[in-house]
Amino acid sequence: MTDAGPARIGPMTGLSHVQLRVTDVDASARWYTAALGLEPFQADPGIGYAALRHRSAGIVIVLSADASGSWRHDGGALDHLAFAVTDGSTLDAWAAHLTAVGIDHPGVTLENGNPSLQLRDPDGTAVELVAPRS
């Protein structure tokens, strides 16, 4: 591998968006709004997509309609999304919020030494909230 050096560093400044193929855009939008605090950003029901964002983190998730669910068999949806949270107590508070809004989860567990909260969206995509090690 060659030295990347300053001149060879790519132009990335952060995450632009994550796009997921889903079977029901509205149901998934409601889930991501309740589970992660995302808010509507852009949408086009005619095309079958909705973009949601987390205002302070600047993260955007785009949900695209794929009623056939064919991506479930070709491995094309996404393995999982992992979002960082500030600390373990924030993760505990978020677990309580999820329980209060009726989103199923197994509770906070340790994954590779980090406190983690594992969720599944309506299409079964794994969503993880991860705090730094204490």
Q: Which fold has domain 16-67+78-130?
A: 2,3-Dihydroxybiphenyl 1,2-Dioxygenase; domain 1 (3.10.180)
Alpha-carbon gap, residue 105 to 120, rounded angstroms: 8
Residues of the chain with pLDDT under 70: 1-16, 67-77, 79
pLDDT in the model for residue 115 = 92
Alpha-carbon gap, residue 78 to 57, rounded angstroms: 21
pLDDT in the model for residue 54 = 93
pLDDT in the model for residue 80 = 78
Exposure string over 97-106, b if 16+ CB within 10 A, otherwise e: ebeeeebebe
pLDDT in the model for residue 21 = 87
pLDDT in the model for residue 58 = 85
pTM: 0.70
Strand pairing report for 108-111 and 114-120: antiparallel
pLDDT in the model for residue 132 = 84
pLDDT in the model for residue 15 = 67
